Amino acid sequence: MGRVKRSRWQANVKSLEIINKARENITSEDIEFLKENYTSQGGLLPKGFNGGSFFTPTHVAKFIVDALQIPKGSRVLEPSCGSGVFFEHIPDDCKITGLELDTTSAKVASMIYPDAEVITGNALEHKRRDYYDFVIGNPPFGETIEVEGRTDFETLKYTKKTNMSKGKSEFAFVEFAVKAAKPGGYIAFILPMNFSFAEPAKKVRQVMYDTCWHVATVKLPPTTFQYVGTGVATQILILRKVTPNAQKIRAHPEFLRPYNFNGKRKIKYIAKFFEGQTPAYMAEVTDIGYGKDGKSTYDAKYGTQLDALLDDFTDGNLVRSSLYPHVPSWMNRGSINGYMFFNEDCEGYRDAKRSYADGPYRWNEITLGNGEGRSWDFTWQDEIVTEYYEKEVAS
Ligand SMILES: C[S@@+](CC[C@H](N)C(=O)[O-])C[C@H]1O[C@@H](n2cnc3c(N)ncnc32)[C@H](O)[C@@H]1O
């Protein structure tokens, strides 16, 4: 075991000693120690024993929360909360619920954040539906997840013999988040990069396409999780759950023409999106701005690439500035459930890379464009959500 792993291991052992102390003997230094040092088993135990427990660096959790501009009083769910890394950055006054399978991590989260509702157990058994304003977090990747009996999850497969429904953890967590979010609510998850293009993820992409507006995809560098010893390629995916009154309509007529991709082949593509779909915000961060020890590697004056991205998200509302829009990357794919792809083989990516060699690279992907009587429009989505709630209140 290397030096970094050994010190993480020792810190976890000390954390266990703290959580086993009688409540009255726990000091504020103990709580601070847990917050700074408890990292669970991710990268310390062989795969299969760690429950996908790779905790999020606090600066990345902060970026997600800040980018969403969570209003005070919101109901926020973190469905695989670990030690509660995301909780720290959520504004006071929010009603936070954390779900966590691992009893030690759940205990740590509830000790550090006593005002949060932390529920120990399998997230998929949580029954609140259409309830949360925000569902955020970093679900376990690549684990098999199961729940007893038949479910309404499209990403889980029921086996009669065992009476269990099984599936891949990150797919089921995204579907769960869609169910738990209220219409018009936001979902922001860290997910493996291959979620956007891998064949096995097709079903969950279809679920997202049928239930959500795509707000943003931010590709993170492989160094993001280096402090817990993994170089997995990840992204932040931000979605907004559509309201039942939103209809799918045809994309800008320009996209209905056969499309000549790279001069190689022509694809005739009939794309439909939920009305109100804004140009999706795409970005790639090339340097996370923090070293293995979690300390900033940037000059405080200029900030990190994540800081630069934050400006795009917070100019009044969530991603309201339209960067130079490009033909979407799904145009060269054969299926519509590819519209959340982050495709390095697209024009937007190439142009952004040419313009800002060091990164971050940013661009918009046209979805509805300015078609169907609406110009580039960032208010349409809100109008649809407002109309839905006005009708709901009236009925
Ligand atoms: C990738 S870690 C992330 C933890 C935390 N969200 C963070 O970002 O630091 C995934 C977490 O999911 C938990 N987990 C795994 N399966 C779960 C399940 N079925 N329900 C709830 N939590 C689960 C693991 O114990 C682990 O703490």
More confident residue, 336 or 313: 313
Phi, psi of 201 (to 5 degrees): -90, 5
Tens of pLDDT along 304-329?
999 989 888 876 555 665 556 666 66
CB of 245 closer than 6 angstroms to any ligand 1 atom: no
pLDDT category of residue 185 using cuts at 50, 70 and 90: very high
Is the CB of 147 within 6 Å of ligand 1? no
pLDDT computed for residue 317 by the predictor = 52
- Could you give the residue ranges of the DSSP H alpha helices within the chain? 3-19, 28-37, 58-68, 103-112, 169-180, 202-211, 305-313, 347-355, 380-394
Amino acid at 268: K
- Mean pLDDT is lowest, of 135-139, 158-162, 252-256, for 252-256
Given CA atoms 187, 192, 193, 195 in this order, what sign does their dihedral have? negative
List the chain domain ranges. 39-394
What pLDDT band is residue 74 in, cutting at 50, 70 and 90?
very high
- pLDDT of residue 255 exceeding 60, the answer is no
Q: What is the pLDDT of residue 369?
A: 45
What integer pLDDT is reported at residue 3 of this predicted model?
Answer: 61
Asked whether 170 lines ligand 1 (CB < 6 A), one says no
- Mean pLDDT score, 1-23: 74
Banded pLDDT at 179 (limits 50, 70, 90): very high
pLDDT (0 to 100) of residue 254: 57
**Maximum average pLDDT range among 84-93, 275-284, 318-327:** 84-93
**Which has more pLDDT, 41 or 226?**
226
pLDDT score of 374 more than 70: no
Question: What is the DSSP annotation of 328-357?
Answer: -GGGGSS-GGGTT---TTSHHHHHHHHH-T
Using alpha carbons, select from 281, 236, 243 the residue that is nearest to residue 136.
236
Q: Give yes or no for residue 372 having a pLDDT over 90.
A: no
Spatial contact of 171 and 155, defined as CB atoms under 8 Å apart: yes
Residue 49: what pLDDT? 46
Q: Strand order of the sheet with strand 164-168?
A: 144-148, 164-168, 157-159
Longest Cα separation, the chain: 71
pLDDT given at position 281: 86
Residue 271 has pLDDT above 80, yes or no: no
CATH number of 39-394: 3.40.50.150
Ligand 1 centre to CA of 134 (Å) is: 17
Sign of CA pseudo-dihedral 337, 339, 345, 346: positive
- The share of the chain scoring above pLDDT 90, in percent, equals 47
Tell me the CA–centroid distance for residue 174 and ligand 1, in Å. Answer: 13
Distance of CA 43 from the midpoint of ligand 1 (Å): 14
Q: Which atom of ligand 1 lies closest to the CA of 85?
A: 9
The SS3 assignment for 325 reads: strand
> Is any ligand 1 atom within 6 A of the Cβ of residue 224?
no
119-158 per-position pLDDT tens digit: 999 999 999 999 999 999 999 999 999 999 999 999 999 9
What torsion, rounded to 10 degrees, do the Cα atoms 25, 31, 37, 43 define? 80
Cα(37)–Cα(95) distance, rounded to whole angstroms? 25
Is 155 or 40 the better-scoring residue by pLDDT? 155
Kindly state if the Cβ of 54 falls inside 6 Å of ligand 1: yes
Does the beta carbon of 102 sit less than 6 angstroms from any atom of ligand 1?
yes
The pLDDT assigned to 298 comes to 84
Q: What are residue 184's phi and psi, to 5 degrees?
A: 85, -5
> In this structure, which residue's CA is closest to atom 27 in ligand 1?
82
